[in-house]
Structure 1
Amino acid sequence: MFQEPDYSENLSLMLSEALHDIGVNENIVMRRRRHFMLRETMGNITSRLTDQKETNYFLGSQSEGTTTKGLDSDTDVLNCRHNYNIIQDWSEWEHGKFNYLMIQDENTTPGYCFLQLLKDDEPLPATVNHNVHHFTDRRGRILYKNTMINNFLVGAVQHGPSIAQQGQPGLCDLDRVFAFPCKSWPQSASGLSERQGIGRWPTQKMIRYAASTDCFVVPTGSKVSEYPELEWRISSILAERCLMNNLNITQIRCYVLLKMILKSFLNSQDEVNVSSFMCKTVLLHCIKKREPSIWKDYNLLTCLTFCLLELHSCIQNDSCSHFIIPENNLMAGQFTVTETKNELLKNICELIQNDRQQLLSIDIDDLGHRLQVKLYRVPHGAYYFPSSFEIYEEVFTWVYIDIATIISVEHMLILKHLHNENIRTMKHHIVKLMNFSDNGNRLEHIAFKFLAPFLFTTYGSILASSSIAENNQVSHQELICLSAGLNSDIASSKLKLASVFYSTGDMEKAELILRNTEQQYISLPVLPLCRCWIKVKPSVTAEFMRVCSEQNEDCIKHITAMCVRFIQKEINCVPHELQYEMFRSTQGDMIHRLEYKDCWMDWAVVDSLPFLYFLQYKIYSHLQRHQAQQQALSKLIRTIETDKNLKHRETALNILGQCMEQENRPQKAFNCYLLSLQQRARNNAAYIHICKLLSGLVVNQ
């Protein structure tokens, strides 16, 4: 790659433009980062609200913005369990936690440690081993095995310290790493400030922030360890995130190119010889060793060459020092087959010597074709690939959809926690949530704005349900709570308020809310969203994508319709036809449920638009407006038949079946229930409706 300056600069600029076009630019990088930080903040607020002793951190390429659609990067999550306490000094022992002493001695691989179990009532080593996940060594120390990870998620695939959960179509796979927090940084990672390179990188500000982050241990041993089941890797992942978030766009493009080269030329589909984390470490070492002024777009090719040469040296010497914990050699035991190592070295040399040819052959995100169009001015019609605007629009669309989906997830987790709580506890949670808005940072304020309306609506609905049971009325205070949640999304909270009015017999107010909600719904490109049970890529319209590309994340409230959720404490606010959904599971069905994600099956949950038309049908029946009632029924049927994005289609079919029963069309009703069972064979209230329908027919005969 060491050609004449004009050649190198021209190719570098064209390559930078091509990477900009596929989404490796400041705008999309910052959007991806903000998205995952907001997602992380919402999840951790929920954890604190529900008294969970854990914190989740989003890490890796997706959260750094160092990825593209073609790279298909996993979403990495570090799950920190705060009921564990990893100490290096006896003074750090804490009562009420699982305390372990970090041990680094002649038997541990550099960058790794053993965890010695301590007593739970005083800061002394434990002497009795009662747990299969502990091992007593020759010195009498009770050490924690890293194989405990196998208990966390059944059915997932383990890769080192992480558990991989396969994503559904259109969604990224999830790599979840379970970690325990260290009370203080290990001595091996404390010298970051002494390792500044040319140009004083990392800066003192970055070093101070990195040193203030938490350090962890994760359950995996070194490849060269004599005790692979007993070792735990020391992780400074939050400090690494700080460094990555301070890279400039040329450095990010260089890293993305390295990952494309890995995927295209160095790693096979079946075997990963060099990991993206190794490439990240190589890049950080190169940044430290070089003048900051070289990291410009017109030098991209030269910067890439430096990184490839550094990678070549690491492979040749079987040595790649972790950037923050340099005693940890990332390539220790990596190449057990000499032929593999030699082949890698040969391929890297070819990449350096034949830069243009190799870059033009990268298929990921059509990078090679895009570069060919720019270099040789090939007509755009010669190749088809998405424009930079189309990529920008798609990234923003799926970022917003993911934020809305996470809102749905966090709402469900909060409801699960509150399902068996009393009114006073729920009020306490609302106060806690409001504190995040008043005293939190900017992201916590935004998270409050998204989560609070759903909680206000549920709280108001629970209060209203109690009042309806007593005197069939709703107080002014309860209406204030319900009204405070009306801006949760385009429809769901408004429909709950309409359902409250319907339940008290105030049909006029309920009809007005429904009419206004329908007008808003049909005038905008609204997308139904829900994460109760299914993770499939929704079908979106061009108009929906346009709105996402033109507006900030606040647009989520106006172009998404969450499912409507009633927990059992809200039962008196629920039409009786929908109450059956709260009792959908028989004893035989329960064994086919997963406790951690199927809690919604004890609630009444329905998609917004079918529920809107169902309520209209019932209300127009009470108001004796027959024509409007039949129009609402037709709209309900059409929505069920045509809306591909419905997530609770079985519930929509169940309420449609009951409408058909009211229309005295039992065969149509029976067909609706059968179709519902095709959608969900178990945990389905359709069985109740079929039994009732057949029983009624027998009695009538």
Structure 2
Amino acid sequence: MDIDDVKPGFTQLRLEYSRDQYILESCEEQNGKHYFSSALCKGNMLLFGDKGETIHGPCITDKKGVLDLAFSLHCKTWISSAVNWITRSGSSWPSHNVTQSILKHGVLFVPIGVHGSPKEDIEWRVSFSVAEKLLVNTFTHTQLMCYALLKIILKDVIANDSECKDLLCSYFLKTIIFWISEELPSSVWEPDDIIACFMRCFSRLVYCVEHSVCSHYFITENNMFENKIEGRARGVLLNKLNTLHSYGWRCILFSDQISNFDVSMWNFPIEPFTLYVNDVKKMVQSRTLHFANSLFETYSELNIFNTGLLHNIWCHKFSLKHLFAYYISQRCSKQAQSLPLDVATINNKYQYKQYKSCLSTLLTNVYHDAVSGWLMVASLFYQTKQYRKALHIIRYSISKCTFDKLFFGMTLSEIHYESLKLLSFNKSVVYLMHFNVNSTLTPEELLMEGWKKQYTIPSTAYAYFLSVLCHYHLNNVSHCQDSIQDLKLVIEERYLMPDLKCTAEAYTLLGIALQLFGDKESARQAFSQSLVIYPNESYNSAARRLL
């Protein structure tokens, strides 16, 4: 082995002596010395293989592109560059027996060099694949679950972003779990603590990306993120990871294969509570309930609707006081939007009374769902130029936009089933934002001359849109950009958005935000995407905004 002037984790193999013609033909001469060439070895393998095979990294790929064949050289002794691993940790993991098995096996040399290196063709990567397999075999169920969940997030969420797709790989995730397993006692990895263990692993991943450092487990001098996790791509990845991390363990529900889990496939015994959940399913998927906010404007119509729900939808054991609070809250949302609100004369005594009346009405409007009522309060603060108060309410509202919330048209999963045991229906559901025509609470940036339609907007998108507006008026440029990125992520994931029209409205909000920020070309793209998703120009204001 010759590791001088070679990146850690790689080596050159200098030939001491051989009469074997194949080995001699696979060597290159450098400064009077002969080195076994990784490039020539793969080239010679192609000569002896089937026609149509190609080189793919360290492997030979068959002509159908289905099978990768990798060969390696076995070094039966432990290499000097990894000797510190033997005595580095005093923890109980891995055990003495496992450590001895790893040392006894040694390492492998894989035929691939450092990309772009002047000596790339004669460099070999040091592989610890057998050692890593022995370590993984010692994992508890909790460690395996953490590894699996990280891989699911990588594949289903992070890799879906074109700018993040090729930055991370499962090997980095496995390395992170190796490090944490060595640092902590084995007693930490208990099934009851799986959430804490998973979040510890996820936090370490965020830290590694933030500092562009992920040390190889056996050769610590090898920073696997060097020249890989950097620049704009690193910023995009870090922002996405931080956003996911802010949701805690619920970030795993961004994965379709987890969030689409259907409890109906299991034969759970039917309990009394299950009947209530079945009623909630009917309500969540009921078009009558979905359109209630926008269709019923008069008290008489509202009373008819109340009576119908009492007899046909609601479970008879559901507390009537919650039912009445629900509809009083709904009505207050509409009533507050019709109250006069002259921002220019807010200090005037009469106008101040109007403002207090509107605020008290809106505070009664927070009982019909978990989010939209509070966002209407934030809209009042925004309209009266109390931007910091608005941001405080927005942050609170966003904290309530969790994966266990219900919305129209969804399929309930186990997490919703459990959530309903803890919260009332009112606190478990997220409705759309409904701004009436001529509403005094509609942000000026949304208004368009001649547009006489109600604005119906997904609450998650509106929260970040309103955050953009507040930061814009406070001249918080970086926070403004962060909110735009968060809005993009919410749209990309269609988070708590019941249908395509809502997604189209969210793109319209993004276009307005980008337009406000001066990015006219990106704004046009957002408006155009809104029209592609929902091309009905009579009900999609994006068409007029493109003119």
TM-score bracket for this pair, using the shorter chain length = 0.3 to 0.5
* TM-score using structure 2 length: 0.44
Bigger RCO of structures 1 and 2 (CA < 8 A, at least 6 apart): 1
